[in-house]
Amino acid sequence: MKVLLAGFEPFGGETMNPAWEAIQRLPKEILGAQLFKIQIPVSGQRALEKIYQMMKEEHPEIVIAIGQAGGRYGVTPERVALNIDDYGIPDNEGNQPVDATIFADGAPAYFSNLPVKDMVQAIRDAGYPASLSNSAGTYVCNHVMFGILYYLEKEFPDTGGGFIHVPYAACQVVQKSNTPSMSLLDIASAIEAAVRAAILQKKKSL
Amino acid sequence: MKVLLAGFEPFGGETMNPAWEAIQRLPKEILGAQLFKIQIPVSGQRALEKIYQMMKEEHPEIVIAIGQAGGRYGVTPERVALNIDDYGIPDNEGNQPVDATIFADGAPAYFSNLPVKDMVQAIRDAGYPASLSNSAGTYVCNHVMFGILYYLEKEFPDTGGGFIHVPYAACQVVQKSNTPSMSLLDIASAIEAAVRAAILQKKKSL
Amino acid sequence: MKVLLAGFEPFGGETMNPAWEAIQRLPKEILGAQLFKIQIPVSGQRALEKIYQMMKEEHPEIVIAIGQAGGRYGVTPERVALNIDDYGIPDNEGNQPVDATIFADGAPAYFSNLPVKDMVQAIRDAGYPASLSNSAGTYVCNHVMFGILYYLEKEFPDTGGGFIHVPYAACQVVQKSNTPSMSLLDIASAIEAAVRAAILQKKKSL
Amino acid sequence: MKVLLAGFEPFGGETMNPAWEAIQRLPKEILGAQLFKIQIPVSGQRALEKIYQMMKEEHPEIVIAIGQAGGRYGVTPERVALNIDDYGIPDNEGNQPVDATIFADGAPAYFSNLPVKDMVQAIRDAGYPASLSNSAGTYVCNHVMFGILYYLEKEFPDTGGGFIHVPYAACQVVQKSNTPSMSLLDIASAIEAAVRAAILQKKKSL
C-alpha cells in the first residue's frame, strides 16, 4: 500500500510549517504501507497540481494533506471541504480569490472518505489532544482538500483522501502570548497515529 | 551548589502532575549543581514542612517549587507570593481555608529573589513558550511559595527561592476541549532552562 | 416584504436562549418589511416542519433562523450548511443521529444566498463584534439551516435564506468562568442590523 | 457618605476607555451616598496625585479606581496591589519604569479593604459576569491601586479603597477577533452593583 502525505511550506510570516516538519519526522513505512512525503507550496493551484501529479504517477491508496491551523489546541482531522476560495490573506504567490468557486463541475462540498472519527480516537489513544473539525476554512488548505476529493470522485474512486490540521509547534509561539501549541514530535506522533488508523481501515476494505 | 526542586503530586481529579513528572526527567546535575528532587503533597502545611526539613538538612543555595496551573499556555515563573490562603477547592487533606493569613508575622507579600525574567528568557531561548506571572493564585501553590520565601527571610537570607507554574501535559487534555498543553518532555526542558538561569545568576553572586 | 425569523427555545441545560429572547425584542417592521417571529423547538425535524409550514403559508421573501453558539465572541452569520446530522448531545426530543444524511436528495452542502458579508459589516458598523462563520456545526442548528436552504432550492427559489449564530447572553455566563458573552440588547441590535442588510439587498434585487 | 470613583482615560491605541465611559453613566447618588467622578490620566504619578488631592479635599469614605483590562471576560474587583512598577508599554506620558518600587516606605503589597467578594457576588446577582482577580498587573492600574491603599494606610485609615478592572466594551472589539467584551451599559450596571455592595458594608461598619 502507498500513502501520499503532502505538507505545506511556511506561510503567514512563519519560518517553518509544523505540518511539513512533522511529516519529515515520520518513518518510511507504517503497518507495511510505504509513505510518500512531499512538500507543497502555499498556492492552491500549484499545490494541487503537485499532488495530482503524484496521484497519477504513484496511485497511492491514501492521500492526506496536512496544514497548520494556528490557534487550534490539538490535531484536527477535517470532515469536509467546501467548493469555495475566500482567502483572508494572499497565498505565497500573491493570489487572493474572494468568494470564488474552485471547480465549476465540482460538488458544493465533499466529505472526506477517510475514517476521520477513528483517526481522532487513535490520536487520543496515543495520548495527544485531537478533535474532529467541521471546517477547513476557505484558504489554501480547504482548496487542496477540496481538490484532492474532487480528483478522487472524478478519477480515483477507490482512493481514500482527506486533510489534517495541526496547531502551532511550541517553538512558533515563543513570542506569542496565550497561543496554544504542541511539541513538533507530538504532532508527528499524532499524525502517525491518524495515518495508522486510515491504513487499518483501508486494509479492511480491500 | 545544591538546588532543591519540589514538585507537587496530582490533585483536582488528575492522575498525574506534570510538575513532578517533569522534575523526575531532569538530570542529577545542572552546571555542576546537584539537584535534590522531592515530591510534595497537595497540602500547604505538609508540603511546606517537607521543604523546610530539606532546607535545614541540605542547605540548598536555590529552592524552587513547581506546580500545575491548568489553563496556562506556557511555563510561568512566578514573581510574587501573597500572605493569604483562599482555596477554591479543598487540598488533598480536605482543608479549605478562606481568606486566611498564612504567617501572622510574615509580610503581606514576598517577591521571589530568583532572576525570574532571566528564567523566562532562558525558556524562550530554548524554544518553549514562557511568560512572567504576577499571580501564583491563593491555593496550595501560593502557600508553598509564600512559605519558602518566608523561611528565606527568617532563616536563609542567602538562599534563592521561587516557584514555577507549568501547563497541563498533553496527555492530560486528551478529553478536554480547547485546553492548552505542553509536551511533558518540553516542560522538563523548559524547567531545566529556568533552573540553569537561576544557577548562573547565583554563581555570579557568590 | 415579509421576513420570517425563527429562534430556538433553550437547550443544553440553559433556562433561556438568547436567539429567541433577542428576536422578541426586535420591532414589528424593519425598513417597511414585516417581521414574522416564531419560536422553534430544539428538534431538527419539528423545527423544520414549523418553518416550512410558515414558508408555505406566508411566503416570506427572507427566512432566517437564529440559534445560540455558546463560546463564540460575536454574532456570526453562517456561510454554509452541511447535509449531515452528527449530534454531540441529544436534541430536546432525545434524538441523537450520528453521521446521518439530512435529505437523501439534497446537495452535500448549501451556501446561504443571503448577503452574509454585508450582514457582518452591518453588525460591525452598528458597533458590535461579528464575523462570518464557515461552520454551523452538525447539530440542530445546521439541520435547520440545511433544511431551509433545501426547501428554497426545491420550492422557493426566489427566497433568501440563512442562519445566524449568537453568543451566550451575559446573564448565562454569570457562573461560567472565562466564557464570552454579549448583552441581550446588543444581540438584538446586531440581529436587527443583519436583517436590515438582508432586506436592503433583497429590495435591490426585486 | 461620599464615594470617589476615578476612571482612566484611553490608552494603548484605544479611542475610549470603558472605565471612564461607564463611570459617567452612573447616577449621582447610590443608596444616599454622593458619587464624585473624576477622569484620571494614564500616568501613575499624575493619576495618583489627582486622586490624593480629591481625598484630601472631599474626604470620601470610599475610593475606587476603575480601569480597562482588555482580554478579561467579566468585571473583576482586585484583591491586592503590589509595590512594583513594571510597565510592558509606556504610559501616556512616555514613562516606562521596570522593576521599580512604587513607595520605598510602602508594604510589599496591600490588600483592598473593600468587601471584594461581596462586590463580585453583587455583580453576579445583577446578572453580569464577574470574578475576583488576584492580580492588577504591574502597569498604571496597579500603581494607582497601590497608591490609594498606601495613602489609606498612612493618612486615611477609616476609608475604604480598591480597584475594579473591566473588560473591553463591545464597540472596542469590532475589529478584534475572538476577544471578549461587555456592553458599556452592562459594565456601568455591574460597577453600580459593586459600588452598592461597598457602600452597604461601609454603612454597617459606621
Residue A192 pairs in a beta bridge with none
pLDDT for residue D176: 92
Residue numbers of chain C with a pLDDT score lower than 50: none
pLDDT for residue A206: 79
- Tell me the residue type at D88: G
Residues of A in contact with C134 (CB under 8 A): 82, 135, 137-138
If you average pLDDT over residues B85-89, what whole number do you get?
A: 97
Assess if CATH 3.40.630.20 describes domain A2-205: yes
Beta strands in chain C (DSSP E): 2-8, 29-30, 33-40, 62-68, 76-77, 80-82, 109-111, 160-166
Residue C45: helix, strand or coil by DSSP? Answer: helix
Residue B41: CB atoms within 10 Å: 17
Do residues D175 and D3 touch, judged by C-beta distance below 8 A?
no
For residue B23, CA distances in Å to A73, B37, B80, B166, C113 come to 25, 7, 22, 11, 57
Helix spans in C25-139 (H): 44-58, 116-125
pLDDT for residue C158: 96
Provide the number of CB pairs (under 8 Å) joining chain C to chain D.
65
User: In this complex, which of C171, C179, C182 lies closest to D170 when CB atoms are compared?
Assistant: C182
User: In this complex, which of B82, B117, B137 lies closest to D109 when CB atoms are compared?
Assistant: B82
Q: Which helix (H) or strand (E) holds A57?
A: helix A44-58
* pTM of the predicted protein model: 0.96
Residues 6 or more apart from B108 whose CB is under 8 A from it? B82, B83, D80, D107, D108, D109, D110, D111
Q: Are strands B62-68 and B2-8 parallel, antiparallel or unpaired?
A: parallel
Chain A nearest C-alpha distance from B71 (Å): 10
Interface test with D, best of B73, B80, B112 (most D CBs within 10 A): B80
Over the stretch A119-173, which tens digit does the pLDDT of each residue have?
Answer: 999 999 999 999 999 999 999 999 999 999 999 999 999 999 999 999 999 999 9
Taking an 8 Å cut-off on Cβ atoms, the answer to whether B176 and A127 are in contact is no
Q: Which three cell numbers stand for residue D13?
A: 491605541
Report the residue of chain D nearest C167, measured CA to CA: D180
Taking an 8 Å cut-off on Cβ atoms, the answer to whether D82 and B109 are in contact is yes
User: In this complex, which of B73, B128, B182 lies closest to A179 when CB atoms are compared?
Assistant: B73
Q: Which three cell numbers stand for residue B130?
A: 514562557
- Domain boundaries in chain C? 2-205
Is residue D206 over pLDDT 90?
A: no
Over the stretch C94-112, which tens digit does the pLDDT of each residue have?
Answer: 999 999 999 999 999 999 9
Do residues C114 and C139 touch, judged by C-beta distance below 8 A?
no
ipTM confidence: 0.95
Over the stretch A27-63, which tens digit does the pLDDT of each residue have?
Answer: 999 999 999 999 999 999 999 999 999 999 999 999 9
The neighbours of chain C, by the rule of 3 or more Cβ pairs under 8 Å, are A, D
What is the C-alpha separation between B180 and B169, in angstroms, rounded? 9
Interface test with B, best of A133, A183, A184 (most B CBs within 10 A): A183
Q: Could you tell me which of B6, B42, B33 has the C-alpha nearest to residue B22? A: B6
Do residues B77 and B164 touch, judged by C-beta distance below 8 A?
yes
Over the stretch B14-54, which tens digit does the pLDDT of each residue have?
Answer: 999 999 999 999 999 999 999 999 999 999 999 999 999 99
